[in-house]
Amino acid sequence: MPRKNKPVIATALKELRRNGAKGVALLIDPEKCEDTEMLDHLVKLAASHKVDFIFLGGSLIDDNNMDFIIQRIKRLSKKTPLVLFPGNAIQVTDKADGILFLSLISGRNPELLIGQQVTAAPLLEKSSLEVLPTGYMLVNDGQITSASYISQTIPLPNDKPALAVATALAGQYLGMQYLFLDAGSGAKVPVSKAVIRAVHKKTDCPLIVGGGIDSVDKARNAWEAGADLIVLGNGAEKNPGLLTEVTDLANVYNLSLNVN
């Protein structure tokens, strides 16, 4: 087994949770990287504003351009850890720093509960990627997003926090170390505060929240309900200034914690 890198990503995620600090990840979707100037601009902004992580992944991949995009990101991202957020095993590459090893526990599609993971595991064993076992839950008001359509699963309802808690606890009891509540990329309504609050209260894992966070108010709502790390995808693509505003707000919260 190759030597694994130091668990930099795991440590950073656990510290966010332990300190009650607010984290930000920029999501880059490989399907939307044709405009390389835009990609460079977002990555530079993310590095200069010290986002905690850059995530890379999507529901589809139209062209196996992951290694090219990673090379491009790595030129500009300074020390920002690059974490794969794969929609399937084809997106796995050893050129990143880590991988969210997702299992879609809100769904009942065996291929996304364990199938893609088995396909990817031999590659991960040969790589030095940091592997982050993550219970992935789609939570949505009924909108069909790319992730719910591609996964052919029904998201958890936004107004049933008890169902989300039961699912998250099952993930935690199965040994998953991180939980990810996702409304799906471009969701009109993000994960509800009630679901975030309930899952945060009843579990100990660092909590990642994404999908439809396209304004500072939505970022604030997610953090105040208990998200440790929020993910910005479409919102930052459409308005890169959002990344600046949201990281500025994170700094305000984090300075008051006095842990930096």
Ligand X SMILES: CC(C)=CCC/C(C)=C/CC/C(C)=C/CC/C(C)=C/COP(=O)(O)OP(=O)(O)O
Residue among 144 and 255 whose Cβ is closer to ligand X: 144
* SS3 letters across the chain: CCCCCCCHHHHHHHHHHHHCCCEEEEEECHHHCCCHHHHHHHHHHHHHCCCCEEEECCCCCCCCCHHHHHHHHHHHCCCCCEEECCCCHHHCCCCCCEEEEEEECCCCCHHHHHHHHHHHHHHHHHCCCEEEEEEEEEEECCCCCHHHHHHCCCCEECCCHHHHHHHHHHHHHCCCCEEEEECCCCCCCCCCHHHHHHHHHHCCCCEEEECCCCCHHHHHHHHHHCCCEEEECHHHHHCCHHHHHHHHHHHHHHHHHCCC
Smallest separation, CB 213 to ligand X (Å): 13
Position among 5, 65, 146, 254 found at the interface with ligand X (CB under 6 A):
146
Position among 77, 93, 103, 140 found at the interface with ligand X (CB under 6 A):
103
Smallest separation, CB 131 to ligand 1GP (Å): 19
Q: Which of residues 123-142 bind ligand X (CB under 6 A)?
A: 136
Q: Which of residues 6-45 bind Mg ion (CB under 5 A)?
A: 29, 31
Smallest separation, CB 253 to ligand X (Å): 26
234 is in an annotated binding site: yes
* Segment contacting ligand X by CB under 6 A, of 51-59, 155-163, 165-173, 196-204: 51-59
Regarding 147 and contact with ligand X (CB under 6 A), the answer is: yes
Closest-approach residue to Mg ion (CB): 58
Q: Which of residues 205-234 bind ligand 1GP (CB under 6 A)?
A: 210-213, 231-234
Regarding 167 and contact with ligand X (CB under 6 A), the answer is: no
**Which spans of this chain sit near ligand X (rule: CB under 6 A)?**
29, 31, 57-59, 85-89, 92, 101-104, 112, 116-117, 120, 136, 146-147, 150-151, 185-186, 234
